[in-house]
Amino acid sequence: MNISATEPVLKLDARKFRDAEVTADGEPRASVDLTALETLWFNTGTLCNLTCANCYIESSPANDRLAYITLEEVRTYLDEIAREEFPVREIGLTGGEPFMNPRIIPIMEEALQRGFDVLVLTNAMRPMMKLAAPFRDLGRRFGRRITVRVSLDHYTAKRHEEERGEHTWAPTMLGIKWLAGNGFKLAIAGRTRWAESEESLRHHFGTLFQAEGIPVDTGDPAALVLFPEMDETVEVPEITSACWGILNVNPGAMMCATSRMVVRRKGAAGPVVLPCTLLPYDPRFEMGATLAGARGAVPLNHRHCAKFCVLGGGSCSV
Residues numbered 289-318 forming contacts with ligand SF4, rule: CB under 6 A: 298, 300, 302, 304-305, 309
Burial of 38: CB neighbours in 10 Å, binned 0-12, 13-18, 19+:
middle
Task: Please identify which residue in 34, 50, 111, 294 interacts with ligand SF4, judged by CB under 6 A.
Answer: 50
In angstroms, what is the minimal distance from the CB of 114 to ligand SF4?
Answer: 25
Binding track over 76-115 against ligand SF4, x by CB under 6 A: -------------------xxx------------------
Q: Please, which residue, 17 or 86, has the CB nearer to ligand SF4?
A: 17
Q: Please, which residue, 76 or 240, has the CB nearer to ligand SF4?
A: 240
For position 120 contacting ligand SF4 by CB under 6 A, the verdict is no
Q: Please, which residue, 141 or 284, has the CB nearer to ligand SF4?
A: 284
For position 173 contacting ligand SF4 by CB under 6 A, the verdict is no
Count of residues in contact with ligand SF4, rule CB under 6 A: 26
For position 218 contacting ligand SF4 by CB under 6 A, the verdict is no
For position 272 contacting ligand SF4 by CB under 6 A, the verdict is no
Q: How far apart are CA 83 and CA 222, in angstroms?
A: 30
Find the part of the chain contacting ligand SF4 (CB under 6 A) among 12-20, 35-43, 217-225, 251-259: 251-259
In angstroms, what is the minimal distance from the CB of 309 to ligand SF4?
Answer: 3
In angstroms, what is the minimal distance from the CB of 115 to ligand SF4?
Answer: 26
In angstroms, what is the minimal distance from the CB of 151 to ligand SF4?
Answer: 6
Task: Please identify which residue in 118, 255, 287, 294 interacts with ligand SF4, judged by CB under 6 A.
Answer: 255
Count how many Cα atoms sit within 13 Å of the Cα of residue 100 in the half-sphere of its side chain: 24
DSSP-assigned beta bridge partners for residue 42:
93, 262
Find the part of the chain contacting ligand SF4 (CB under 6 A) among 43-51, 67-75, 128-136, 211-219: 43-51
Whole-number CA gyration radius for the chain: 19
Q: How far apart are CA 255 and CA 275, in angstroms?
A: 8
Q: Please, which residue, 156 or 210, has the CB nearer to ligand SF4?
A: 156
- Residues lying near ligand SF4 in the complex (CB under 6 A) are found at 32, 48, 50-52, 55, 57, 59, 95-97, 123, 151, 254-256, 275-276, 278-279, 298, 300, 302, 304-305, 309
